[in-house]
């Protein structure tokens, strides 16, 4: 058994959720935040049999596309002034960061 954890940008979350349902794949969604932009993300936790991992990865890959976005970083707090970039920068957003973990035991009540 495997646990597929996919961190996706909130903009991609509804499409992924819909495509997982269409494929008959059950998932748990968690709101998450992080990264350079401190933007909203959604983390999907998907428990599947080992042989179903490739199908889940295909659904994730077809649902979450990366794109470029121009952003103005927030000013830093504290003593991190030397790393602050005061002008807009182009960053890659979207897509998915996916972790596949072995599951030692699974129980559902």
pLDDT at 106: 86
3-state secondary structure of 23: coil
CB 16 within 8 A of CB 64: yes
pLDDT at 83: 58
pLDDT in 10s for each residue of the chain, 109 residues: 999 999 998 889 999 999 999 999 999 999 988 765 566 789 999 999 999 999 999 999 999 987 777 776 665 555 555 555 567 777 766 789 999 999 999 888 8
Contacting residues for 101 by C-beta, under 8 A, at least 6 apart? 2, 3, 4, 5
Domain 2-67+95-102 belongs to what architecture?
2-Layer Sandwich (3.30)
CB 9 within 8 A of CB 32: no
Cross-strand bridge partners of residue 101 = 3
Domain spans in the chain, listed from the N-terminal domain onward? 2-67+95-102
Burial-class residue 30 by CB neighbours within 10 Å (0-12, 13-18, 19+). Answer: exposed
């Amino acid at each position: 058994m495997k646990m597929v954890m996919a961190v996706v940008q909130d903009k991609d979350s509804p499409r992924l959720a819909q495509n997982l349902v269409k494929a008959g794949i059950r998932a748990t969604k968690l709101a998450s935040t992080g990264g350079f932009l401190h933007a909203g993300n959604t983390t999907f936790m998907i428990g599947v049999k080992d042989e179903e991992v490739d199908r889940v990865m295909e659904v994730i890959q077809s649902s979450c596309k990366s794109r470029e976005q121009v952003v103005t970083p927030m000013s830093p707090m504290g003593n991190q002034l030397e790393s602050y970039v005061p002008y807009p920068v182009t960053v890659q957003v979207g897509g998915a960061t996916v972790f596949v973990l072995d599951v030692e035991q699974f129980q559902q009540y």
